[in-house]
Amino acid sequence: MNGTHTSIPIPDHDPKAPLLSDADSPVHRSGSFRSTVKSIFNLKNLYVLLGPVLCAGVCYFVKLDGASGVGSRNMLGVLMWVFTWWLTEAVPMPVTSMSPLFLFPMFGIAAADEVAHSYMDDVIALVLGSFILALAVEHYNIHKRLALNVTLLFCGDPLNPPLLLLGICATTFFVSMWMHNVATAVMMMPVATGILHRFPIGSSRSPAETNFCKAVILGVTYATPIGGMSTLTGTGVNLILVGMWKSYFPEADPISFNTWSFFALPMALLIFFIFWAVLCLMYCPTGSGPALSTHLDKTQLKRELDALGPVAFAEKMVLAIFSILIFLWMTKNITDDIPGWGSLFDGRAGDGTVSVMMATLLFIIPNRKQEGEKLMDWNKCKKLPWGIILLLGAGFAIADGVNRSGLADILANALNFLEKAPYLAVAPAVCLVSSLITELVTSNNATTTLVIPILIQIASIMHLHPLFLMIPGAIGAQFAFLLPTATPSNVVGFSTGYIDIPDMIKIGLPLKIVGIAAVSLLMPSLGSLVFETNKPMQ
């Protein structure tokens, strides 16, 4: 091209030169072979094999009685496979979450269409709509504004880390009283991470900063279910309990919103404050304030809040839509005397219905920033956490598979040993078994539906008022604090990357013990007064 010719020198062939280059030499090939073997036989690949191996072992060696023995055995094997991959993370969690779509048909548990249905039901729709709303909150920096206000309110001068942690946890607790647990976790986690983004990242973060970050995420994660159990509308488990009480005992006084709150709110507050104290003890030691104060200076926080400017039209509209959604969730089903707006649709509308409907409004209402631009567009939704949605779908698919295969009946019959035990031994056992079923097998809603009919029979055999066992069974199903896959709020907290499984066990285990003790002691005392269990059943 430049007018000169460049020749490429060709070396003369040396008859003594080796025919193989260094790259082709046996030594190199030996090293390459070793690296190949190493890449195949590593710990992660062994964990990949461990799942199907355990499944095959269960299917070959375990024998379960009954007409559904083969189906129950296969379902147990599939559970071993899926949970091994989840716990070891040998395969990415979202990919593992899709495995029921091929495992259930292969093992004769359910047809492909039936399994796929679990991945898009009303609860998934609720999560999907809630996530879109959460993305809108994040896009317009509403979570940052809320985080700055909460931090300023509880920051203190000088900084008091336990007080700030109390403010974040208490805010989550209050919101969870009125919103679904999933929606609360999705709404409050960006608020928490908005505060934590002020700290250094990675190895430059000091131990005090790392511990405080973990404390905040754990606080939001666990304050969500604790607040949810305090009101009837806080979680679906409470509504299932009330519905079953009315179905099994139609002549008895129904459990009203106020009746439940008189018992559950003091119990939840007791658990909450002990939880906060344990969290401070383990993650906010005395003297950690100075290390954190440089990142949470009040003057700087006020400057940042002022820099956000006044609340714009778009922010007001997103907040209005969120407020309307909360109102619709709260008023869909109120009491027996005041049925709520859900009765207008003969029960066809669910929480997911209004969640998606409100999310749709975000794509219709203009944001008044640019001509033709709406509050949200689909490009902004590319950040939707599909991994979490697939994980929830897997949980529902497993719950359905456990019931279809007959494994649910075998698990339920395992509770029959409780019928001859004293009450102060039965109540903690009921809570523990319910929480473990939720932790390892299925959702808390499915656990409640599974164990309550059995507990009613056990209460009858023991000559106890049914609520003495029904309430510990239902509330115990919400004490799933150990594993990230146990509840949606656990998943949301774990997905932030600030905490790992040992952190969850470190806080979750004492929290589970405290919760079980609180329910077991309060039910025969406060519960007896509130629910009038001393009255004869009609």
pLDDT tens per residue across span 451-497:
777 788 778 777 788 888 889 999 998 898 888 877 878 888 888 88
pLDDT in tens, 256-277: 777 888 899 999 999 999 999 9
Closest CA to 49 of 78, 74, 85: 85
pLDDT in tens, 375-397: 999 888 887 878 778 877 887 78
The pLDDT, as a whole number, for residue 221 is 92
Q: Which residues, other chains included, contact 511 with Cβ-Cβ below 8 Å and sequence gap of 6+?
A: 222, 271, 275, 278, 479, 481
Closest CA to 391 of 144, 164, 172, 182: 182
Give dist(CA 459, CA 531) in Å, integer: 16
Site of tokens 């629910």: 531
The pLDDT, as a whole number, for residue 256 is 72
In this structure, are residues 455 and 469 in contact, taking their beta carbons and an 8 Å threshold?
Answer: yes
Predicted confidence band at 223 (pLDDT cuts at 50, 70, 90)? very high
Cβ neighbours around 121 below 10 Å, total: 15
For the chain, what percent of residues have pLDDT higher than 70? 84
For the chain, what percent of residues have pLDDT higher than 90? 18
Give dist(CA 394, CA 391) in Å, integer: 5
Strands (DSSP E) found in 387-485: none
Of the two residues 413 and 184, the one the predictor is more confident about is 184
- For the ranges 25-29, 31-35, 207-211, 221-225, the maximum mean pLDDT occurs at 221-225
Give dist(CA 398, CA 148) in Å, integer: 41
pLDDT in tens, 445-455: 777 777 777 78
Site of tokens 């075998």: 410
Predicted confidence band at 55 (pLDDT cuts at 50, 70, 90)? very high
- Radius of gyration, CA atoms only, the chain: 28
The pLDDT, as a whole number, for residue 269 is 95
Lowest-pLDDT range, 143-157, 427-441, 476-490? 143-157
The pLDDT, as a whole number, for residue 43 is 76
Within 13 A of 17's CA, how many CA atoms are on the CB side? 8
What's the whole-number mean pLDDT along residues 289-315? 77
Six-digit token string for 227: 């607040």
The pLDDT, as a whole number, for residue 411 is 66
The pLDDT, as a whole number, for residue 11 is 46
Of the two residues 535 and 344, the one the predictor is more confident about is 344
The pLDDT, as a whole number, for residue 493 is 87
Give dist(CA 134, CA 64) in Å, integer: 45
Site of tokens 């754990």: 218
**191-226: string of b/e by CB count within 10 Å (b at 16+)?**
bbbbbbebbeeeeeeeebbbbbbbbbbbbbbbbbbb
What's the whole-number mean pLDDT along residues 416-434? 79
The pLDDT, as a whole number, for residue 174 is 84
Site of tokens 């006020």: 302
What's the whole-number mean pLDDT along residues 185-198? 79
Give dist(CA 49, CA 85) in Å, integer: 9
- pTM value is 0.65
Signed CA dihedral, 421, 424, 425, 429: sign only: positive
Cβ neighbours around 341 below 10 Å, total: 14
Phi and psi angles of residue 366, each rounded to the nearest 5 degrees, phi first: -70, 155
In the chain, what is the straight-line distance between the N-terminal and C-terminal CA atoms, in Å? 102
Of the two residues 59 and 64, the one the predictor is more confident about is 59
Q: Is the pLDDT of residue 46 over 80?
A: yes
In this structure, are residues 488 and 127 in contact, taking their beta carbons and an 8 Å threshold?
Answer: yes
| Cα-to-chain-centroid distance, residue 86 | 14
What's the whole-number mean pLDDT along residues 335-354? 78
Mean pLDDT of the chain: 80
Phi-psi domain of 72 (left: phi exceeds 0; alpha: psi -120 through 50; beta: other): alpha
Going from the C-alpha of 179 to that of each of 176, 235, 236, 335, 355, the distances in angstroms are 5, 8, 11, 17, 12
Of the two residues 173 and 3, the one the predictor is more confident about is 173
Predicted confidence band at 3 (pLDDT cuts at 50, 70, 90)? very low
Burial class (CB in 10 A: 0-12, 13-18, 19+), 61: exposed
Six-digit token string for 434: 């319910």
